[in-house]
Structure 1
Amino acid sequence: MTEKVVVIYSGGMDSFTVLNRALKDGKHVYALSFDYGQKHVKELECAAKVCESLNVPHKIIDITAINQLLAGSSLTDDIDIPEGHYEDDNMKSTVVPNRNMILLSLAVGYAVSVEASQVYYGAHSGDHAIYPDCRPEFVEKMNDVCQIANYEPVEIYSPYLHVSKIDILTDGLNMGLDYSDTWTCYNGREKACGKCGACQERLEAFEKNNAVDPIAYEG
């Protein structure tokens, strides 16, 4: 019987690769996306389109009410999105307090309900400097808790935890993936800005892989 897994799928290039990695691993995938009050839903639209094309069961869950509690992030509040690389200190404004712990907890609950053994999570080394909830120690501790939080143990599985976005894209290109239906930019305009940390890291990944990013950029 094919093993069931839940994939946290934002619609970005990392989670898109994770989704396809799970499928390539032979898993029966349940994709789970969250509307947590981010400034745009372009990623979610991409996620829905991809899951429909792959015939993957997909839920988009509205948890925007949590923004009454989680203030101070440029991704959700009336704060300008910073420009620059993820290594720059100003990128800390993109941290949403406790976001990934909340999303992982909900995904684990969903995994228990559909009898899935794993939750696939797209943390990677490029996020370690700015995002504490993408670091190996956080993922390891969450995995420990999720082994005992229910009668059914659920593993938090991060296939790219110790590699960079460059390596994630390498794996995706080796799988023959088309990244035209992914969205990474923190801004929700018609074209990607090319200046925010998310865009810069994405463009760097394509450059290092000697590949052309299929999405359109401003300028």
Structure 2
Amino acid sequence: MKQDKAVVVFSGGQDSTTCLFWALKEFKEVATVTFDYGQRHSKEIECAREIAAELGVSFHVLDMGLINQLSANALTRSDIEVKEGEDGELPSTFVEGRNLLFLSFAAIYAKQIGAKHVITGVCETDFSGYPDCRDIFVKSLNVTLNLSMDEQFVIHTPLMWLNKEQTWKLADDLGALSFIREKTLTCYNGVIGDGCGECPSCVLRNKGLNDYLQTKVAGDE
């Protein structure tokens, strides 16, 4: 039986769009919330808006530009190169405090519209070492949010223990493989669909897709 109402933290990328399709299956009513934090590609917000419209869910943008004033990173600064972390350092794409703030404001928004469930596409299996994508962080924040607002929110992380191949399988199981492949924006260089093929996000996404398609073909033989 479907649960009542949920808010999806939504960027228009592969992971959050997979979570949106998952939410549409699990909940009676689904809303999305997107954050404008000065990201290099405004196309990301427009992509999210178009997907939400096509899937018939509400779309709300919150201004989180303060993050850009505080954190120097490759997702908000064009003069910082996108690169993996070296010698134990975090990648240049890590935005400090992003998921802490996004999930907190998503919960506040959820309360305003009468939703008890918040869904995010963070993942601890195929990730870049971001500390705010870990399961322990999400569980800790869930408790803190409930205490801070005297509510009973549940933060759902459908992708937490899936690698990228398994995430593509979930998309396929949800009947959304082609949609997510063609219409989402994951690329750090702002290329919709299969992306530029060169940035770390595209490499991870495309490797997972190729691995899944090979597994699927082998299973069909």
Cα shift readout 1:91-138 (whole Å, capped 9, x = no counterpart): 611101111101011001001111111100111134555100001111
Cα deviation code 1:121-164 (max 9, x no counterpart) = 11113455510000111111111112212132211111111121
CA displacement 1:150-201 (0-9 Å, x = unmatched): 1322111111111212211101011111121101111125782211111011
Of 126-135 and 21-30, the range deviating more from structure 2: 126-135
Provide the rounded CA distance (Å) in 2 between the counterparts of 1:41 and 1:67.
14
SS of the aligned residue for 2:162 comes to: coil
Match 1:188 to one of 162, 187, 190: 190
Structure 2 segments unaligned to the other structure (5+ residues):
215-221
Q: 3-state DSSP class of the match of 2:187? A: coil
Q: CA deviation at 1:74?
A: 1.1
Q: Does 1:25 align with 2:26?
A: yes
Deviation at 1:26, TM superposition (A): 3.0
**Which residue type is aligned with residue 200 of structure 2?**
G
Partner of residue 75, structure 1: 75
Partner of 1:49: 50
Say what the alpha-carbon RMSD is for the aligned residues: 2.2
Task: Report the identity percentage.
Answer: 38
In the other structure, the counterpart of 2:122 is 123
Give, as a single letter, the amino acid of the residue that structure 1 aligns with 2:143: D
Residue of structure 1 equivalent to 2:168: 169
Deviation at residue 90 of structure 1 after TM alignment: 7.0
CA contact (8 A) 1:128 1:135 kept: no
Structure 1: runs of 5+ lacking an equivalent:
212-219
Which residue of the partner structure matches residue 203 of structure 1? Answer: 206
Paired letter, 2:210: E
TM-score relative to the length of structure 2 = 0.86
Q: Tell me the equivalent position of 1:110.
A: 109
Superposed CA offset, 1:24-57 (max 9, x none): 1133111001111111022222211111111101
Q: Distance in 1 between matches of 2:52 and 2:203?
A: 26
Letter in 2 for 1:31: T
Q: Is the 8 A contact 2:126 2:162 kept in 1?
A: no
Q: Which residue of 2 aligns with 1:153?
A: 152
More moved, 179-188 vs 147-156: 147-156
- The residue identity in structure 2 corresponding to 1:74 is A
**Secondary structure of the corresponding residue to residue 3 of structure 1:** strand
Give me the whole-angstrom Cα distance separating, in 2, the residues matched to 1:87 and 1:51. Answer: 37
Ranges of 4+ aligned residues in structure 1 off by more than 3 Å = 86-91, 126-129
Q: How many residues align?
A: 208
Task: Give the TM-score taking structure 1 as reference length.
Answer: 0.87
How far 1:61 sits from its partner (Å)? 1.8
